[in-house]
Amino acid sequence: MSVRPVALQLKTSWQTATGWLLTALWVVTASATLIENDAYRYSGIVLMIYGGVAYCAMRPRPPVGGPAWLCIGWGSYALGRFLLQYLLEAGHPQGDGELMYAMPLAFPSLAFALYLGWSRIQQIVATYFGVALAMLVFTTHYRAVIDGETVRPLIQHNPIHGAVCCGVILIMAIFWLIHCRTSANVSNRMRSYATVVAPLIALLCLFCIYGAKSKGVWLALVCCAPFLLFSIVGWFRTTSGLIAIGCLMLTATIGGYAVHRNLEKTAGPTFVATSGLFGDIISGDPVGAAVASRIDDRTTPVAMDERLQLWSNAYELLSSAPIFGLGNAWEPRWHQTHYRAVDYAAMHNGYLEILVRYGVAGALFLAGMAFAFLRRVEKAAQMGLIPTAVSHGYLIVQIFFGLTLLSNSNNRLAIGETIIMLSFTFALTCHLLIRAASAPSHLPAGRDA
């Protein structure tokens, strides 16, 4: 045998092994949505180093680009502010979970790593959903859910975290199926795989979300349901597709009726208390007085009562520094607020978490970043660089996750860090795809890693 074919075979084997290694690293980076742990940070660091080294090795190096500079600018601001407050202020305030706001510094390198391996994106997604299905099958507490007990879906620290993860996985699985069933660029093998795996994931996720009894996730999913249904009907206009959708809706209706008493028992008291709160405000009571009255009302459910106390405390801190927030100095003052007896450092509202730390100015900047990145994803879809179904799924995941932030601080958890990191990384990758299509000389084509 000649040396050249052997060398070529070794090179091919090396590329295949490297590709699968990077696929595994991306799946681990998304694994906090399945198992609540910090593994995503370590795999993310490896991918960040890979992307950064690959970028620095390019000659000539392409411009960083506006969206990447937004990440670098915000991350530098968050990290610099944290360090200055820690070093200069009395007591060296450390806050709680502050450094997650500096994570955008890593996003450009992560996006370049994903861009370089873009041709393996289907493999990454298919592997993730295969692992997700296995996790759902083997961790779901079927009997407990049927008996009406509250369960923790997947391997998460509490039912709410598990329900949020199931909601995100459910939405992604639906649009993955839509893409695989409607795209001509998907192999028959992948199409068949998605047709089996995605519906099973969707059904198990719905089952687990019901079992978790997270009212905030239920509300977020109900709000997203019309978008999901319109998207499904819009994509599957064939007779068989519409029949399948009808069967799914019928099954959901029958299932909802079968468990409606349990749903009413779980969400009813909170619905009544919330209606009473808004009724008091509409009738003319000041918001603060209405909230205080609801906190003192013994009929208010415990979970809602505690959240109202936390939100009152957060508003108290925000009022002291509304424009730029308190930074990491918020945590010492948290223990001096009116309802300091409530035993939580998390505010159970992701938007208040941001407002207390960075004020209205910081919140508006982050909102502008999120909107700009969403536009990158939409433009990539319009140019045919990513499937339209993927851009629709991206948007609905953002809506769903954003709604869950209204009643929980999911953005400061492992699941939140992972979802935000992957969302921004994907949007930055879309920006790189757009630039490569518009000016091929600036970037190499996305290739196998």
Each residue's pLDDT expressed in tens, for the chain with a length of 449 residues: 454 554 445 455 666 778 789 999 999 999 999 999 999 999 999 999 999 999 998 887 778 789 999 999 999 999 999 999 999 998 899 888 899 999 999 999 999 999 999 989 999 999 999 999 999 999 999 999 988 899 999 999 999 999 999 999 999 999 999 899 888 889 999 999 999 999 999 999 999 999 999 999 999 999 998 888 777 777 666 665 566 667 666 766 776 666 667 767 776 787 777 887 778 788 877 888 888 888 888 888 888 899 999 999 999 999 999 999 999 999 989 989 999 888 788 899 999 999 999 999 999 999 999 999 999 999 999 999 999 999 999 999 999 999 999 999 999 899 999 999 999 999 999 999 999 888 765 666 555 43
Phi and psi of 405, rounded to 5°? -70, -15
Distances (CA, A) of 19 to 116, 176, 194, 279, 281: 11, 21, 21, 58, 57
Q: Give pLDDT tens digits for 81-123.
A: 999 999 999 889 988 889 999 999 999 999 999 999 998 999 9
Distances (CA, A) of 428 to 138, 249, 349, 390: 35, 36, 27, 15
Structure-block tokens of residue 410: 């999911």
Structure-block tokens of residue 376: 């990158």
- Whether residue 367 contacts residue 351, with contact meaning beta carbons closer than 8 Å, is answered with no
117 CA to centre of own chain: 22
Q: What is the structure's pLDDT at 1?
A: 46
Q: What is the structure's pLDDT at 74?
A: 97
Phi and psi of 155, rounded to 5°? -120, 80
Question: How far apart are the two ends of the chain, measured CA to CA in Å?
Answer: 28
Q: What is the structure's pLDDT at 443?
A: 64
**In whole angstroms, what is the distance from residue 104 CA to residue 69 CA?**
10
Q: What is the structure's pLDDT at 96?
A: 85
Long-range contacts of 435-438 (CB under 8 A, 24+ apart): 435/62, 435/65, 436/115, 437/383, 437/385
Q: Give pLDDT tens digits for 177-189.
A: 989 988 888 999 9
Q: 3-class DSSP state for residue 181?
A: helix
Q: What is the structure's pLDDT at 207?
A: 93
- Whether residue 263 contacts residue 256, with contact meaning beta carbons closer than 8 Å, is answered with yes
